[in-house]
Amino acid sequence: MTDKIEPVVAPAGDALVDEVVERLMDSSDASGAALLGDGGLLTEITRAVLERALEAEMSEHLGYEKHDPAGRGSGNSRNGTSPKTVLTDVGAVTVAVPRDRNGDFEPRLVPRNARRLAGFNERILSLYARGMSVRDIRSHLAQIYGVEVSADLISKVTDAVVDELAAW
């Protein structure tokens, strides 16, 4: 009795991630940009991912998307951003944290007074590389960051991040 070894086929998501990473590295090489440090490739991707996620959190908090006419007269709206520097696995990253007019928006991904996001990059990469379901991602965020997030928020965040990576 012989064991037949089946070839491992990567999910379509892995191929997309590989393609995006390859394009990013080519672009970085061509422009001479550093991988790490201020203005580095990983720093900028981390900043962009965090900001997209924070915007998605704000949309969930307010109940409407940015520039949506449904927000007019709602009693609360976006009120610009505040810069915040957080330490990630790629170093210090300054993000624009959105504010609301009522001042009651409490970001879950980058909580108030939090200055360190331990293991953030590995978590983000694992979400995409493994093709996790919304339930898995939700569980993962609860386990790692101790926050409960809705399935809708996860979908918005991952959609925004996929668009950002494709744009890179």
Answer yes or no: is 109 within a domain. Answer: yes
In terms of Cα–Cα distance, which of 115, 106, 102, 121 is closest to 42?
121
Answer yes or no: is 152 within a domain. Answer: yes
CB 64 within 8 Å of CB 72 = no
Answer yes or no: is 27 within a domain. Answer: no
Answer yes or no: is 122 within a domain. Answer: yes
Q: From CA 112, how far away is CA 77, in angstroms rounded?
A: 19
pLDDT in the model for residue 30: 72
Answer yes or no: is 8 within a domain. Answer: no
In terms of Cα–Cα distance, which of 2, 117, 132 is closest to 53?
117
Answer yes or no: is 148 within a domain. Answer: yes
Answer yes or no: is 80 within a domain. Answer: yes
Number of structural domains the chain divides into:
1
pLDDT in the model for residue 114: 80
pLDDT in the model for residue 33: 67
pLDDT in the model for residue 39: 72
CB 157 within 8 Å of CB 56 = yes
pLDDT in the model for residue 35: 65
pLDDT in the model for residue 74: 82
What is the residue-level pLDDT of the chain in tens, covering all 168 positions?
444 444 344 444 577 777 777 777 777 677 776 666 667 778 888 888 899 999 999 999 998 888 888 878 888 889 999 999 887 767 778 999 999 999 999 998 888 888 777 665 456 556 765 777 778 877 876 765 555 667 776 676 666 666 666 666
pLDDT in the model for residue 10: 43
pLDDT in the model for residue 62: 92
In terms of Cα–Cα distance, which of 88, 82, 168, 164 is closest to 122?
88
Q: Domain range spanning residue 49?
A: 33-64+76-167
